[in-house]
Amino acid sequence: MTVDAQRMPRRVEGVDAARGLALIGMFVAHVTPAVATPQVAELIAIADERPRLLFALTAGIGLGLMSGGARPIADGRSALRRQIAVRAVILIALGMLIWATLDPLVFIILDVYGVAFLVLLPLLFLPLRVMLWLGVALLAVTPALTELGARTEFVDAVRQTPLKFLSDWIVGGAYPVIVWVAVMLIGLALARTDLESPRVIASTALAGAAAASVFLPLAAQLPPPELVSEAGWSVPLRASIEALGNVGVGALVVAAMLTLTALARPAVRRIASTMLSPIIAMGAMPLSIYTLHLVVIALAIREENGFATDDSWPLLIGLVAGSMTFAWLWRRHLGRGPLERLLRWASGRDRVDAAAH
């Protein structure tokens, strides 16, 4: 059976804007040079963890919108799961291909993204409250588990083999699947609400602000990992507390973007949509922009003082300005992003949509 035409997902500009900001944050984390001023270094450090969690949060929202949003589809669930599974396998293959051929000096999210999609398939249509609280509960424990697991002899042994990527997927890498699944579940739960409802957006903002204002100061009271022995209990505890606070920041960003693009007065919405349009365009084609940025930074690798590096301010400015320009022009004249279009065709989504109409 096919998905009802009335349940076709549509783009939500506020979510795309939040995803675009996450991409810019990743650019900052990937290629910003070291700075001498501690205050500037702390400011740049904000881009180290929060953009990737914001990206995971918006990925969960996108998956929820694809599966019906506030009214989950009833017909065509098996077909939708097959489409998502095909996308997941393609993302895993693309991530592994980039790692094997380009080997950029950054962790690659695409394969982890694909694995997380596969894990989420049986959880896609859980009741809203179950989905939300399961995501929050997992987020409270999985970052600590990844910190503990990464320090085990077994994981260390796996890292010395060609199967290193398996340990990176689960606990050892920058994007552990068990943490991403937790964050994406929270995003899925948000998509099951009405993202155009002032009450829902206000609740999301309040919950995000509360989590950020409680957990981030609490985490700051614990010693940073570099000052603690490997067995230090504070390292896994801090990881979980920081993750809760950082996802709170992500929820607050999503709520702010939804407010600017959907709830504000018409004049404010027009101005915000115009000013944010390049960022919204980036967020509407995240696979294309993220993949292109990996190609660029791989080509920018050079040797400096005996070490390979890709960091530079011109590269950062070029990535941000170039991505905005490319995405805005492509979306304006050609619509869906190039890799998004290819992924949609390969997964059979175009054929399902055509049959639904």
Question: What are the b/e assignments for 331-355, b being 16+ CB within 10 Å?
Answer: beeeebbebbbebbeebebeebeee
- What are the pLDDT digits (tens) for 196-212? 899 999 999 999 999 99
Calpha distance 104→300 (Å, rounded): 9
46 pLDDT tier (thresholds 50, 70, 90): low
Contact 26, 323 (CB under 8 A): no
Domain ranges for the chain: 5-356
In one-letter notation, the amino acid at residue 187 is: G
Q: Which residue's structure tokens are 């669930």? A: 77
- What are the pLDDT digits (tens) for 121-152? 999 999 999 999 999 999 999 999 998 888 78
Question: What are the b/e assignments for 106-117, b being 16+ CB within 10 Å?
Answer: bebbbbbbbbbb
pTM: 0.91
State how far the alpha carbon of 305 is from the alpha carbons of 31, 308, 309, in Å.
17, 8, 10
Tokens linked to 43: 């400011």
- What are the pLDDT digits (tens) for 224-246? 766 665 556 788 899 999 999 99
| Residue 206, pLDDT score | 97
Tokens linked to 284: 């509407």
Contact 200, 61 (CB under 8 A): no
175 pLDDT tier (thresholds 50, 70, 90): confident
In one-letter notation, the amino acid at residue 109 is: I
- What are the pLDDT digits (tens) for 275-325? 999 999 999 999 999 999 999 999 999 988 888 888 999 999 999 999 999
Question: What are the b/e assignments for 273-283, b being 16+ CB within 10 Å?
Answer: beebbbbbbbb
Q: CA-based diameter of the chain, in Å?
A: 61
Three-class secondary structure of residue 254 per DSSP: helix
For residue 63, what are the β-bridge partners?
none
